[in-house]
């Protein structure tokens, strides 16, 4: 994650104290405040912290970070089922946003034969879709987060201002019973918020194992999300329907829970038949 042992010490201190002044860092690490300011600038560029007036605050809990390879191996069959169901929600010819994350990466693998404009901040998604003739691929750019394989920061957010996204697909580290979705990195959460603001239809892909988890930074609440695609392990669809959120269940026999108990649409019924 870091280039210098001192950077690792800075993040260790921040993970414990959350908010630390430049002077406190300098005293603890026995270096000048000028050196600390340079270190903080580099770590902010890497998405590890947020600089504040006179110091810094933690941007992510480095103790629980997992690499993409590790995340892809966790609940693989469930995530693949969610990706297949999410594929049914993609309309040929539209502009979609694919987030950086294991389930969104699996969704990208489902889209290689479609005609789409795909906006993404994920280098892995770009690698999957780069050779697809029907895909017009747009990268946000920005500061590269090696741990997540994603681009974040002000440049990525600024790029969104010129784009109109019809449907976005976002991942999440956890979501609560109140419909709050959270991410492990504060800077990445800021980008997710802007994606939601720029999108006409807002979809989150999350396996049921993430329900009840609370990560470092909340990026969306119930009113910010139109559809949650999850698996049969999630038993709270009716509660989320009350929030006005449609819950799509992906499994061996997929079913759709709609707000107000309405009948699933034709596309959903077709998906059910295909999943049997």
pLDDT, position 154: 87
Instruction: Give the three-state DSSP class for 36.
Output: helix
The torsion angles phi and psi of 215, rounded to 5 degrees, stand at -90, -170
Q: What percent of the chain has pLDDT over 90?
A: 59
Phi/psi at 200 (5° precision): -75, -40
Kindly report the number of other CB atoms within 10 A of residue 270's CB atom: 12
CA torsion angle for 267, 271, 272, 276 (degrees, to 10)?
160
Start-to-end CA distance of the chain, whole Å, equals 44
Structure-token pair, residue 27 = 């005293």
Rounded Cα–Cα distance for residues 232 and 275 (Å): 13
Q: Express each pLDDT in 171-188 by its tens digit.
A: 999 999 999 999 888 888
pLDDT tens for 186-217 read 888 999 999 999 999 999 999 999 999 888 78
Q: Is residue 169 scored above 90 in pLDDT?
A: yes
Give Cα 205 distance to the centre of its chain: 9
pLDDT band, residue 133 (cuts 50/70/90): very high
Mean pLDDT of 211-231: 91
How much is the average pLDDT of 119-148? 92
Q: Is the separation of the CB atoms in 216 and 183 below 8 Å? A: yes
H runs (alpha helix) in 2-151: 5-17, 22-29, 33-45, 68-73, 76-87, 102-110, 123-129
Please report the domains of the chain, with CATH numbers, ordered by start residue: 5-59 (1.10.10.10), 68-275 (3.40.50.1360)
Position 146 scores a pLDDT of 77
Closest to 118 in 3D by CA, of 101, 99, 98: 98
CB 240 within 8 A of CB 229: no
């Amino acid at each position: 994650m870091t280039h210098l042992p001192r950077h690792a010490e800075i993040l260790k201190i921040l993970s414990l104290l959350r908010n630390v002044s430049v002077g406190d860092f300098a005293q603890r690490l026995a270096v000048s405040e000028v050196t600390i300011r340079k270190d903080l600038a580099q770590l902010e560029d890497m998405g590890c912290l947020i600089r504040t007036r006179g110091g810094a605050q933690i941007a992510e809990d480095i103790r629980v970070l997992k690499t993409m390879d590790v995340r892809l191996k966790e609940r693989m069959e469930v995530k693949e089922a969610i990706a297949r169901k999410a594929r049914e929600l993609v309309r040929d010819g539209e502009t979609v946003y694919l987030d950086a994350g294991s389930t969104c990466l699996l969704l990208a693998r489902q889209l290689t034969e479609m005609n789409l404009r795909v906006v993404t901040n994920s280098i892995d998604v770009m690698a999957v879709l780069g050779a697809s003739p029907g895909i017009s691929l747009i990268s946000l750019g920005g500061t590269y987060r090696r741990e997540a394989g994603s681009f974040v920061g002000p440049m990525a957010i600024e790029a969104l201002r010129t784009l109109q996204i019809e449907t976005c697909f976002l991942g999440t580290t956890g979501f609560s019973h109140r419909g709050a979705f959270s991410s492990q990195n504060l800077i990445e959460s800021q980008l997710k918020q802007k994606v939601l603001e720029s999108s006409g239809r807002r979809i989150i892909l999350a396996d049921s194992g993430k329900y009840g988890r609370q990560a470092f930074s909340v990026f969306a609440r119930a009113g910010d999300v139109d559809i949650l695609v999850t698996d049969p392990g999630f038993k709270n669809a009716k509660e989320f329907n009350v929030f006005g959120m449609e819950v799509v269940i992906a499994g061996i026999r997929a079913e759709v829970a709609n707000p107000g108990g309405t009948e699933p649409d034709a596309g959903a019924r077709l998906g059910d038949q295909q999943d049997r």
